[in-house]
Amino acid sequence: MSAHLRVTHRIAPRALALVLTIGAALWLAALLLVPAAAAGSLGLPLLTYDLLNQAAGHICHQQPERSFHIGGLQLAVCARCFGLYLGGAAGTLAAWTQGLSASSRSRRALLVAALPTALTVGLEWVGIWLLSNAVRFLSAVPLGCAAGWVFVRTLRAEAKSATQDECAIIP
């Protein structure tokens, strides 16, 4: 393996983990700050708010009754999606404070974290329980957090593994 490929293999996962973390934080900030600024006195044009809503409309149903509102303006995503994004941003940040080893329990952690979301979605689909936005939001936070944590931690562990492999190869 050439030196360039070894360096790229080591840097790419770490850089991707950093991009994922920064992207999650920026997306969360946009979801909160754009409607707050558009509704407030910051003078943010409603065009910015509309663009954010159009972008988010590709990934969320955006039903007004299932969304939080700031200053009378609806967030660009529903309460459940907002919980996923808040949890995801928190999880990506938390993954940088942990050790670098990839956990063999990652799948189990994701499955357990998905249970509240799966349960609430299932109960709504069969018509047993009409949930509040707060419950939708809170049930999604663990899944977002676990997913962000697992993705970033796995990428960081891969970068560490590539560095250790490189040290083992070089005499």
Model confidence pLDDT, tens digit, residues 101-160:
556 788 899 999 999 999 999 999 999 988 999 999 999 999 999 999 999 998 988 877
What residues have CB less than 8 Å from 146, skipping those under 6 apart?
87, 91, 109, 110, 112, 113, 114
pTM to 2 decimal places:
0.84
